[in-house]
Amino acid sequence: MPGIGAQGGDLAAVLKAGLLADGGGLLINASRSIWQAEDAGAAAQELMNEINEHRTITA
């Protein structure tokens, strides 16, 4: 499975396929899209917000 971000993985599809009923169950790789970002902290926060938004919708 490609990582989310630079490798082009589809976050919504990954969450839909892998989330458990309690909203957990996944370890999502997005390292390159974060460490190569101009502001790594902001990139990580943005991805976390996007994941949490999808978790709310999907779970």
Tens digits of residue pLDDT in 9-57: 788 888 888 888 887 888 888 888 899 999 999 999 999 998 888 877 6
41 located within any domain:
yes
- Indicate whether 5 belongs to any domain: no
**Domain for residue 30, yes or no?**
yes
How does residue 8 score in pLDDT terms, banded at 50, 70 and 90?
confident
Residue 46 falls within a domain, yes or no? yes
Q: CB-hemisphere CA count at 13 Å for 10?
A: 6
Let me know: does 3 contact 46? Beta carbons within 8 Å: no
Instruction: Look at residue 37 and tell me if it is in a domain.
Output: yes
CA–CA distance, 46 with 35 (Å, rounded to integer): 13
C-alpha 36/C-alpha 14 separation (Å) is 22
Domain total in the chain: 1
The parent domain of residue 40 ranges over 11-58
